[in-house]
Amino acid sequence: MSKQDTKQTLLEIGRSAFLRNGFNHTGINEVLETAGVPKGSFYYYFSSKEDFGLQVLDYHGQGDLAALDGFIADETLPPLARLRAYFDANIQVLAAQGCGRGCLIGNLGQEMADQSEAFRRKLDEVMSNSIAAIQVCLEQAQRNGDLDATQNAGELAEFCLSSWQGAVLRMKVVKSDAPLQAFIHSLFDIVLKN
Amino acid sequence: MSKQDTKQTLLEIGRSAFLRNGFNHTGINEVLETAGVPKGSFYYYFSSKEDFGLQVLDYHGQGDLAALDGFIADETLPPLARLRAYFDANIQVLAAQGCGRGCLIGNLGQEMADQSEAFRRKLDEVMSNSIAAIQVCLEQAQRNGDLDATQNAGELAEFCLSSWQGAVLRMKVVKSDAPLQAFIHSLFDIVLKN
């Protein structure tokens, strides 16, 4: 593997392991074994397990933001339909996982926000990036006349993101996508109506 | 202490410890030390750590449901104002905790729903009880003409509960009550408007 491949492999394996078992219950040794990478190589890329966790969050957040931005840039749809398509795509992924595991950001937010200030700041950064992208989309809808222009788009974007996280948490408990469908319906047919 | 007092003391201490450290990171020995109760006494009330966790969830859920029912029964306010008062009271508690820790149900939902089927069922039961109480309140609002009677009150109640859980999660990450205020405003001034 090239250096870039090795690092990306570790980030991918870390992401799966953290999603499955959380940060505290994931051992670096199990990540190294799965990757077939020696410990020295790990410490070439990451200064500590915490540094690894933060870089996994960055990697995941960048991928998720790129996906969100891709949906928002789709000018064949009106702005609110782009946002709905993004959430619908995420529901398909979660349903394919049997409505378990949830979302890395929500899981680590719950686990780490009170435990590590570095994690808390990184989680806030990743969430804030998504909220900012959603806000841009809502403002486009307001300019198009598809959404009440007197609404506070920043606050609505905050509500979209946190309500989504709550629906994913409830999905994990009820093991069905019904809370995600209630989210889609309540958000797009009630909140984001003109 | 009477038997009933001993059991309640253990449940209270367990609730605080699970809220602070989660279920897996809480040791029974630390609960016993804090309570000043011998191990044999613990196993008189609880058959295992899991049984203790489930009874703590029941205890917490019953207290929370009694509080919610108390707000909903307050006929000096219109139904939606009762619900808003319930969430406002919870925001005051969370703000007084420095916007950390969050909510026991959300925290254990995130931690345990995929780990233990017994926890998942108990968490679903506690959440479903709250959703059912919220639904009753929304149906009262519909009968009073304060809420669009064509809306699906059960789905809206599901959305209220999961959006609240998501706002609490986001609060933990951002360490401010802004997500809770965005929840209150978006829910009561947009979603639950007639």
B177, closest residue in chain A (CA to CA): A158
Residue A191 confidence (pLDDT): 85
Sign of CA dihedral A55, A59, A102, A167: positive
A23, closest residue in chain B (CA to CA): B111
Distances (CA, A) of A70 to A82, A83, B11, B131: 9, 10, 49, 35
Q: Do residue A162 and residue B155 have CB atoms under 8 angstroms apart? A: no
Residue B126 confidence (pLDDT): 98
Q: Do residue B107 and residue A110 have CB atoms under 8 angstroms apart? A: yes
Q: Do residues A80 and A147 lie in contact, with contact meaning Cβ atoms separated by under 8 Å?
A: yes
Could you please report the per-residue DSSP string of A9-75? Answer: HHHHHHHHHHHHHTTTT--HHHHHHHHT--HHHHHHH-SSHHHHHHHHHHHHHHHHHHHHHHHHT-T
With residues binned 3-state (H G I as helix, E B as strand, rest as coil), the percentages for chain A, rounded to 5, are 75, 0, 25
Q: Do residues A111 and A21 lie in contact, with contact meaning Cβ atoms separated by under 8 Å?
A: no
| SS3 per residue for B59-120 | HHHHHHHHHHHHHHCCCCCCHHHHHHHHHHHHHHHHHHCCCCCCCHHHHHHHHHCCCCHHHH
Q: Which residues of chain B have pLDDT under 50?
A: none
**Does residue B169 sit at the A interface (CB-CB below 8 Å)?**
yes
- Nearest Cα to Cα of residue B165 among B116, B70, B94, B74: B94
CB contacts of A186 in chain B (<8 Å) are: 155-156, 159, 191
Q: Do residue B162 and residue A175 have CB atoms under 8 angstroms apart? A: no
Q: Which residues of chain A have pLDDT under 50?
A: none
CB contacts of B174 in chain A (<8 Å) are: 124, 127
Residue A30 confidence (pLDDT): 95
Residues B34-57 have pLDDT tens digits of 999 999 999 999 999 999 999 999
- Nearest Cα to Cα of residue B104 among B85, B122, B86: B122
Look at the block and give the residue holding tokens 């009550």: B177
Residue A192 confidence (pLDDT): 85
Which of B102, B110, B183 lies nearest to residue A159, judging by beta carbons? B183
In this prediction the ipTM stands at 0.95
